[in-house]
Amino acid sequence: MRFVLLRLLAVVAVLALAGAAVAYWLGPTAGLALACALAVGVIAFDTLARARLLEWLRFPQRDTVPQSPGVWGEVFYRSARQLRLWQNRVQREENKLSRFIEALQASPNGVMLIDEHGQIDWCNATAAGHFGLDPQRDMRQHAVHLIRNPEFVAYLAARQFAEPLLMRRNGSHGTVLLSVQVIPYGDGDKLLLSRDVTQLERTEAMRRDFVANVSHEIKTPLTVIAGFVESLRTLEFSADERERILELMQQQSDRMRQLVEDLLTLAHLEGDPHQPAEELLDMPGVVARLAADARALSAGRHRIETSADVSKLRGASSELASAFGNLVSNAVRYTPNGGVIQIRWRLLESGLGEAIGEFSVSDTGIGIAAEHIPRLTERFYRVDRGRSRESGGTGLGLAIVKHALLRHQAELRIVSQMGEGSTFSARFPAQRLVLPQPEATSEPVAAHPA
């Protein structure tokens, strides 16, 4: 408005001066006509310039700034400059918003924005996966219409958000346990955070089971030993009876010692960050030693068969000996008298043109039901608790095997059939093998006449 008034005053002043000058030279009539003509021209020019400015302001473009002489050129220049500043500021804010949304999308936790009416404003891909939502289709839908878990509906209705809600959801990969936390903000809006705690809960359950199992496994032999000690101190026994009691006490003591040794071995395998030692194990010799141990443990009750290809395995001898020994001792424990146990080391083709090494122990024992096989390597997991304790196992053997093989990039395979026996195989990659070099064939030396 100020600019228009100043412009009008300037135009009037110029017209007055021009009209006075023309009237002085040509007369009043000519001066008035010229002044009117100039006024009409100036008004038309200003009207056209304003129209161009308004048209450009409707759809401003940096590259199409109107050109005009005089003061209107300055107006166009300053308008274009303000437009550039505004567009740059908007672009910076859009970039910030884009990076913020990218960060929320990359979050391992689910993030969902819910407005004051309970409708979903936005959610990242993690939240969509947690609750089975489509980020495009389900926007502006009521959250409780899409997430129908009764505990979730009650959680939102109660408006008590100090503690997170634990709820189970059926997903594409099975049932998951979610921790859901709602944080109110703004005028009734809510920020919903979700986290998959399935593995955390499973780990916590394993920890509880581990503590309970260790306590039970140690408590049982201690109770037996304490009972025998009390009996020896208060009762009279013959020499044979005392010898029998001492033998039972020794067995329980050995059981506790073996349990402690297995726990220490497992703790070492799980907690040692260093790579296993690079020793070379002569596998035919390893198989021979394992067969001797199996025959001693079997005491003639089983037939032990062996076979071994000539090659060497690179790794930590103590860790691999513990793993192989556990597989062999398990086969002896769970194979009935007269059964056959095969201990083998062989080289196989990987399908990629490389050889892999396989150590396997097969038996004709009682076998394992299919539903138990995936859990066999869990600590203290037992298919038959009564039979396991009769056989003297600690429940840690296959857990030790699993961790020892993982440290050597090896894979444990279990194949079993109820009533027909089991085969436990450890497959090692090609980089762990040292194959025998083919002997160079010497050329026959020709005899020369004397």
Asked if the model's pLDDT at residue 384 lies above 70, the reply is no
Q: Look at residue 112 in the predicted model and tell me its pLDDT.
A: 93
Please tell me whether residues 259 and 205 are part of one structural domain: yes
Q: Predicted confidence band at 445 (pLDDT cuts at 50, 70, 90)?
A: very low
CA quadruple 145, 101, 181, 126: dihedral, nearest 10: 70
Number of structural domains in the chain:
4
Please tell me whether residues 407 and 260 are part of one structural domain: no
Q: Check: CB of residue 368 under 8 Å from CB of residue 383.
A: yes
Q: Look at residue 35 in the predicted model and tell me its pLDDT.
A: 62
Report the alpha-carbon angle 315-319-320, nearest 5.
Answer: 65
Which tokens is 378 given? 């869990």
Please tell me whether residues 338 and 370 are part of one structural domain: yes
Give the tens place of pLDDT for each residue, 133-154: 888 888 889 999 899 899 999 9
**73: helix, strand or coil:** helix
Give the lowest-confidence range in 208-217, 222-231, 308-317, 413-422.
208-217
CA 231 to chain centre: 55
Q: Look at residue 251 in the predicted model and tell me its pLDDT.
A: 85
Q: Check: CB of residue 326 under 8 Å from CB of residue 400.
A: yes
Among 54-58, 190-194, 368-372, the range with the most confident prediction by mean pLDDT is 190-194
CATH code of the domain in which 143 resides: 3.30.450.20
Please tell me whether residues 88 and 223 are part of one structural domain: no
Which tokens is 318 given? 């103590």
Please tell me whether residues 215 and 264 are part of one structural domain: yes
- End residue of a domain, out of 96, 118, 142: 96
In a domain, 419, yes or no: yes
Give the tens place of pLDDT for each residue, 59-116: 666 566 666 666 666 676 777 777 778 778 888 888 888 888 888 888 889 999 999 9
Asked whether the CA dihedral 215, 216, 220, 221 is positive or negative, the reply is negative
* Cα dist from 300 to 336, 388, 390, whole Å: 12, 21, 19
CATH code of the domain in which 229 resides: 1.10.287.130
Q: Look at residue 83 in the predicted model and tell me its pLDDT.
A: 75
Q: Look at residue 50 in the predicted model and tell me its pLDDT.
A: 67
Which tokens is 446 given? 């020709």
Q: Check: CB of residue 59 under 8 Å from CB of residue 82.
A: no
Percentage with pLDDT > 90 across the chain: 30
Please tell me whether residues 147 and 181 are part of one structural domain: yes
**In 306-384, alpha helices (H):** 317-333
Asked if the model's pLDDT at residue 447 lies above 50, the reply is no
Q: Predicted confidence band at 450 (pLDDT cuts at 50, 70, 90)?
A: very low
Give the tens place of pLDDT for each residue, 7-61: 555 655 665 666 566 555 555 666 566 666 666 666 676 677 767 766 666 666 6
Q: Look at residue 205 in the predicted model and tell me its pLDDT.
A: 79
Asked if the model's pLDDT at residue 448 lies above 60, the reply is no
Average pLDDT over residues 348-372: 87
